[in-house]
Each structure stands twice: as C-alpha cells, then as structure tokens.
Amino acid sequence: MVRTQEVSYDQKGNRFKLKLWLANSLSHAHQLFDEVPVKDPPLWTSLIAAYARHCQPENALHLFFLMLRQSKPDLEACPNHFAITAVARAIASAPQHLLFGHVLHACIIKTGIVPGKVVAGTSFLDMYSKCGAVESARKLFEDMSYRNHVTWNAMLFGYMQNSMESHGLMLFYRMKCGEFIAPDEYSISTVMSGCAHVQDLVLGMQVHGYAIRGGFEVSCANSIANMYFSCGRIVCAKIIVDVVHKDMVSKLLSIRGYILNHSYVDAFRYLCSLDNIVEILNTDYTIFVPLLTLCTKLSLVRVGKQVHGLFIALVHSNKIIKSLDENGTIIGCTLIEMYCKCGDIAEGKKVFETWPWEQHVSLWNTLVSGYIQNGLVEAASVLFEVMPEKDVVSWTSMMTGFVQNDMPQEGLNLLGKMYCSSEEGYGVDGNSLTFVVGLEACTCLTDLERGKQIHAKIIRRSPGSGANNNVVVGTALVEMYSRSGSLHYARRVFDSMEQKNVVAWTSILTGFAAHGYGFQALEVFHKMLNNGIKPNAVTFVAVLTACSHCGLVDEGLRCFKEMKNYGLIPEEDHYTCLIDMLGRHGRLEDAWLLVNGIQGQADGASSGAIWAALLGACQLYGNVEIGRKVAPKILKNGNQNSRARIALSNVYAAAGMWNEAYGTRRALQISEGDANGEAAISRVCVPPLLS
C-alpha cells in the first residue's frame, strides 16, 4: 500500500522495481537504474541515498556528479534538497571529501535551501561534526532559524565525538534550561557518554534523575550504566544493568566496566554466569583484549588458553579476519603479554612465531618485555638485536631490562648506541621514559658526567623548558644529582620544576638527609607540608634519617608520632631509623624499651634490621649488657648469624673484653667456616685522565 503512493507518477514501474532491488542488492538496483533512459531527481536521489546508507560514499558522490552533468541542459533535473541531504550524509562518512562539502554548502546557501529546510541544515551540521570541523558545525547551528530535536542531538553528538565534552554539556544545559526544549532519549544517551568521558558523576546523576522522571531510564540504561562504570560506581552500574533485559550491549558493557575498574574477580564471576560467551565474542571481537587482560591479572593461564582457542577458531572460520587490521596487533600483543606474565614464555614465543598477520614492531616489543619480566635478559637482548625495525619503545624496554637486572653500564651503552644510530639517519629519538631510564642507570653507577650529558640532551630536546614541565624527568634528575653528591645541581633542578609531587619532594629531602644535611632536609620537609603535599612512608624514612644525622632526637620522635596523622603505619624502616637515631646519641635504654615495646606488632616490625641497628649502637658505645641481650634476638634469624656474631664481637672489643671477642669469632669460624663474611664494595666514577 505504501509503494502504490510512492509510484503514482511516470516511470512508476521502473521506480517500483528500483525500490525492490534497493532492499536486496545495490548492484542490481544500479543495473536497473542504468537501463532507465530518462532519470528524474527522485530516481537519482533514491540510489544516492542508498549508497550513503550503506557506507559507500564514493559511489554516492560519483552518481551525484553524473546527476549534475545531466541537469545542465534540463533545469527540472537539478538536485533537490533530498539529494543534497543524501550527499551530505555520504561526505560525513568520507572526511577526505570535506572540501567538496564546503563547496556544496556554499552553493546551496545561494538557493536558500539550508535556512528553510531543517533536514538539509541538520545533514550539513552532522557532516561537519563527523569530519572534525566542529567550528563550522557550530556556526551553522547558530545560524539556523529553526532547530528540531535531531538538530540539537547532532550538535551534541558532534561535540562529544570531537572530545569537546565540556562544550556539549554546556549545550545540553542551554537546550533544557535556556531554550526549554525537553531532551529525548538520544539527548540523554549522548550527554551520558560525555559525563562518562569527563567522569562528571554529579551531572550524570542529575541527568539520570531526569531520565527517571521522563521515563527514559530503560531505553537509556546502557548509557547510564556506562557513565557509572566510568565514574567508578560499580554497584550503581550493576543496579541499572539488572533493571533492563540483558542484551548483548549490556553484557559487553558489564565486562568492560568491571575490568576498567580493576574488579577482575567480579568480572570473572560475571563471565561464569553467562551461557553464550561464544556469541559475545562473535558480536564484538575487540572484547578479546579485556578478557585476556582479566586472565593476566588473575594469572588464569588455562582460561586464557581457552580464550586463545576461541580466537583461533573465529579466525579459521574467516568471521573476523577481514576486520582485524590494527586491532589484530593489539590482540596479539595482549596474548603474548598474558602468557609471559603468567610465566609461560614458551607459549608466548609460539604465539609470536605463528602469528598469521604481519609481525608489527609492537609484537616484537611485547615479547622483549616478556623476556625481561621473567629475568631472561640475554634472550631479550638476542631478540632485540635481530628485530627488523626498532622504535623508541624497543630501545627503552631493552634499556629498562638492563637497569632493572643490575646491568646499568649495558643500559647506558645501549642509550649511546641508540643516539649514534639516530645521528646516522636510521635511528630514533628518545622520549621522557628513555631519559628517565638513562638517568636511573647513571644513578646506579654514580656517573655524574654521563648524567650531565643526558641532562644537556633533555634541554636541547625541549629548549626553554628542559625538565621543568615533566615531573618524572625532573625527579630522576634530582635523584641522579643527589646520589652523585651534587646537591647544588639537585636543588637547582628541583627549584626549577613547575610541578612537584610527593616523589619529587621526597627525592630532594632524601638527598639532603643521606649526605648529612639534616637541617636543610627538615626545612624542605616543612616547606613541603606548607605547600599542601601529603608525605608518604618514604618521606618519613628520610625525615627520621635527617634527624638522626643532626642529633635532633626529640624532633625525630615528634615526626615519628605525626605519621598517624597522615594515615601511615610505621614499618620496619621507620623503626630501624628511630632505633638508629636513639642509639647514635647514647639513648640505648630508650631504644631497648622501644624495641621490646614493638614486639608482637605487625609481622616484620621487630625483625633483624631493627635489632642490628641497636646492636650497632651498642658497639659504638661499648654497651656489653644490652649487646648480650640483643645478639640472641638476631641469632634467631639464620640468615644473619654471621653478622650478629661479628657485631657482638665488635661490642666486646670496643669494651676491651678481648677474650670474649676472640671466643665469639672462634665460634663463628667453627659454625660457618668463615668469620670474614662477604666483602662489601663501593664504586666511584672518575673522569678519564687526559694525556
């Protein structure tokens, strides 16, 4: 009945057949279209719109150009606003033709189509938004004399799609509160996506309340749940999802939401409650990545292998092989990472070697990182050397592997090799993380000269700013200069940093404390508190060390008590510093009472390190009485028997009790065969001598 209305004019038979073919096959429809000798605008528009709907913009534009060529001798065959609307929709899916969209828009403005036809104006607005020309879309929106819900929604979507969520939320406020237009379900869904992206929970809850009053909660449930998941409100999101029938979108949303919020156990339980996981994977193959991430975090290697098997089955069935593209590389990297982090290096290597698509450099980098994480630095180095292509991630990962496995010199050598290859024209330039790893290697080696060279490279790479606007690089520089004894440079770098977090403050504070500048360290600590920076556990270790070196026992005790004000529980390092501070200044009885008082608290609170600090103080002051009490405590820890006996022997020697000292050393020789223990070493880097 509807079709009889559509074809009640000339050539109705051809047009009727065309409508039928459009529902089945565009190629057959186009073939029938070509057989029509005289084509009127509705006929052209039908096929152009069909190509636009089926995301074939090239064919749609080609037909439109042919239509324009035919319309030159026959003005009645000129495109109408329906044809222009279809062309705008086609350009929206092909941003490379935006220039033609501008030209077409300029031409039809002369005809007056856009101001008078809200459909055509909305189509061009949508075209500009989807092609990234948001300012053009905004100008068109403001110039329109009449706007319907579709127009408002198109502008809202344009802002959200182009990462201008704040503008979109302001437009929504203007729509509802400024021009009193009641948002529909599409408006609410779009605004919810914006709230999710910027994590604006308050506005999201307000819009949710409006959705409940307007009766849109069920139809917008997935958007509302996504907003709650993005804002970390898992319970609220779960309630919304449970309200509606669980469709495929809500299932995918729930899986991603749990994993996004690191609720891996809840995600696993939710997956176990589903009975159509294969259908879910068939619907959206990108869900493989969060599923494999889940298996990695929970070390579920057997479940990961099952997911891997499903992926292989889908690939072999050719259901996803055509649409993988770059997402295939992401899945491959996630698979390799899953096996490597679960300790199955052989399986990760097998995935890499049998990967059916191009072995992108990301796959190489993931396997190199997997080797490093499992301590296989040599295997990682061999793989790194045979890589056909290396990017900055490749170089930085290998450098990190060397530094983390106590091979800082090799890490610095690799950094030099990277920049030598860069100067020869086939290398890469380092990023912030590369410099941080290089500075960490210099810190381990106390290599001040090479650290300065890296600092100079950072300054040349970012003239005028250097490390000032990168807190991570700035902190690494402070650490390097502090460990190398150049506190003047460390302070200059620290003072020049535009942003300072607790790690940066702790780094400079530790540097002063370690080198005996306790008063400067305390000055930095108080300045840190005045700037509203909350100290962490490492900060208080540095503060107690500074108080110990300066003899500020009462100040140290006060700072120790202040830890509770910041929600920190004293750990072994804090007690060790406190005992050392009391022992250094002869308050051995107080130290002994304190150690006895902390026995029975959290595990490790009264471990060997604390007793060793007290025994060292006994050696310093020749206190044999307390030393005899402390030594048996340390001897309970078999790993520190030799150290305890040597320290007790030194206590006896300091008190002039040579027979007891000899007896203790002799007992150690009999029990362990070596009274000297393992010799300690220290390293100092000196510049080469110039001949």
10-residue mean pLDDT series, the chain (691 residues):
36 53 68 76 83 86 83 62 86 90 84 69 90 91 88 92 89 88 90 91 92 89 93 91 80 92 91 83 84 92 91 73 66 93 92 85 93 93 91 92 92 88 64 91 91 89 67 92 90 89 91 87 90 90 86 85 85 82 76 69 55 70 68 59 65 68 67 54 59 46
d(CA 525, CA 535): 9
Tell me which residue of 355, 419, 420, 362 sits closest to 393, measured CA to CA: 362
CA distance 120 to 113: 7
* Topology given in CATH for the domain delimited by 21-146: 1.25.40
* Measured CA distances, 55 to 20, 52, 360 (Å): 19, 5, 29
CA-to-CA separations, 556 to 200, 536, 569, in angstroms, rounded: 43, 16, 16
Locate the DSSP E strands across 348-409. Answer: none
Residue ranges per domain, the chain? Answer: 21-146, 246-381, 390-485, 500-570, 571-597+606-667
The token pair that represents 373 in the structure block: 């994480």
Predicted confidence at residue 152, as pLDDT, reads 92
How far is 19 from 29, CA to CA, in rounded Å? 8
pLDDT confidence of residue 585: 75
- Tracing tokens 């679960």 back to the chain, one arrives at 342
DSSP string, 558-598: HHHHHGGGGT----HHHHHHHHHHHHHTT-HHHHHHHHHHH
Please tell me the total number of residues recorded for the chain in this structure: 691
Record the pTM.
Answer: 0.75
Nearest to 477 by CA among 442, 430, 509: 442
Query: What's residue 603's pLDDT?
Result: 46
CA–CA distance, 561 with 554 (Å, rounded to integer): 11
Task: Extract the tokens encoding 529.
Answer: 């508190």
- Candidates 671, 673, 649; CA nearest to 661 is 649
Fold matches, 21-146 and 390-485: yes
At position 165, the amino acid (one-letter code) is E
Tokens in use for 503? 């790690």
Per-residue exposure over 193-204, b if at least 16 CB sit within 10 Å of its own CB, e if not: bbbbebebbebb
Tokens of 334: 């996630």
CATH class of 390-485: mainly alpha
User: In 3D, which of 18, 28, 20, 83 has the Cα closest to residue 52?
Assistant: 83
Count of alpha carbons within 13 angstroms of residue 558, beta-carbon side = 6
pLDDT of residue 605: 45
d(Cα 594, Cα 606) in Å, to the nearest integer?
10
